[in-house]
């Protein structure tokens, strides 16, 4: 038999987890969704370790957006997506870095190549979690406006004028903590894709 104390503790834990999840994305990203994805795992690192060519990711181009990427991330804090103008990142290139859940998971922002924070930032708390997958959309309009979205929570979460950015590669990591990134999942928008445009992701 379960003792009353165990039952109360179980209810408390489930309540806390439910509260955390609700603050993250409004609804659970089911495992049945994540198993349709490719996965990239990043070790705990303070800096980007590897850039991947943009054409290995599904890009849902439309009349409004020249870049439209969908990710799901598990990380304790500071989920970083680095967008670069160049394939060879040893060159001096234009970069925009989106940080989601920084400063103890209480602040998110975009910074440019000079390190300056640009555009709309956010003080939304608990945007990422090591337990729950947070959905993230990164999109750029043809005008150059860069937006980061957490569906059903913040649209946009972040926004900046990035008309000097023409994304050729990107890097995924979380600052000083391990992270799991899910990409190229089965999505409703897949019917809009040109299947020849997305190359093999054997490099990841």
57 Cβ neighbours under 8 A, 6+ residues apart = 69, 170, 183, 184, 198, 201
For residue 198, being part of any structural domain is answered with: no
**Is 201 part of a structural domain of the chain?**
no
User: Do 175 and 75 contact (CB within 8 A), yes or no?
Assistant: no
User: Which residue range forms the structural domain that includes residue 9?
Assistant: 4-192
Q: Decide if pLDDT at 11 tops 60.
A: no
Residue 9 is predicted with a pLDDT of 43
Residue 145, beta-bridge partner list: 161
Residue 134 belongs to some domain of the structure: yes
Does residue 199 belong to any structural domain of this protein? no
Per-residue model confidence as pLDDT tens digits over 67-117: 999 999 999 999 999 999 998 766 668 899 999 999 999 999 999 999 999
Report if residue 164 sits inside a domain. Answer: yes
pLDDT (mean) for 10-26: 45
Is position 169 within any domain? Answer: yes
Is 79 among the domain residues? yes
pLDDT for 91 equals 64
First-to-last CA distance in the chain?
48
CATH code of 169's domain: 2.60.120.200
Helices (H), the chain: 4-25, 31-34, 102-105
Residues of the chain with pLDDT > 70, as a percent, come to: 79
Look at residue 204 in the predicted model and tell me its pLDDT.
61
169-195: per-residue pLDDT in tens?
999 999 999 999 999 999 988 888 876
Model confidence pLDDT, tens digit, residues 52-67: 999 999 999 999 999 9
Distance of CA 32 to the CA centre of its chain: 19
The tally of domains found in the chain comes to 1
**Looking at 160-164, 176-180, 195-199, which range is the least confident one?**
195-199
Pick from 5-19, 120-134, 169-183, 185-199: least confident: 5-19
Instruction: Give, as one character, the DSSP assignment of residue 42.
Output: E
Task: Please check whether residue 202 lies inside any domain of the structure.
Answer: no
Higher pLDDT, 19 or 108: 108
pLDDT at 180 (0 to 100): 98
């Amino acid at each position: 038999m379960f003792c009353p104390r165990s039952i109360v503790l179980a209810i408390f834990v489930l309540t806390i987890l439910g509260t955390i999840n609700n603050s993250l994305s409004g609804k659970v990203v089911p495992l049945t969704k994540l198993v349709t994805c490719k996965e990239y795992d990043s070790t705990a690192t303070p800096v980007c370790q590897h850039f991947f060519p943009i054409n290995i990711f599904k890009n849902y181009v439309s009349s409004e957006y020249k870049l439209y990427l969908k990710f799901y991330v598990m990380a304790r804090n500071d989920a970083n997506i680095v967008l670069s103008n160049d394939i060879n990142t040893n060159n001096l290139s234009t970069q925009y870095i989106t940080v989601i859940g920084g400063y103890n998971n209480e602040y998110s922002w975009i910074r440019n190549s000079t390190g300056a924070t640009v555009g709309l930032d956010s003080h939304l708390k608990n945007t990422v979690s090591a337990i729950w997958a947070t959905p993230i959309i990164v999109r750029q309009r043809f005008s150059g406006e860069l937006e980061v979205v957490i569906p059903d929570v913040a649209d946009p979460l972040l926004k900046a004028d990035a008309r000097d950015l023409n994304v050729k590669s990107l890097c995924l990591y979380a600052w000083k903590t391990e992270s799991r990134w899910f990409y190229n999942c089965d999505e409703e928008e897949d019917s809009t894709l040109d299947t020849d445009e997305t190359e093999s992701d054997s490099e990841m």
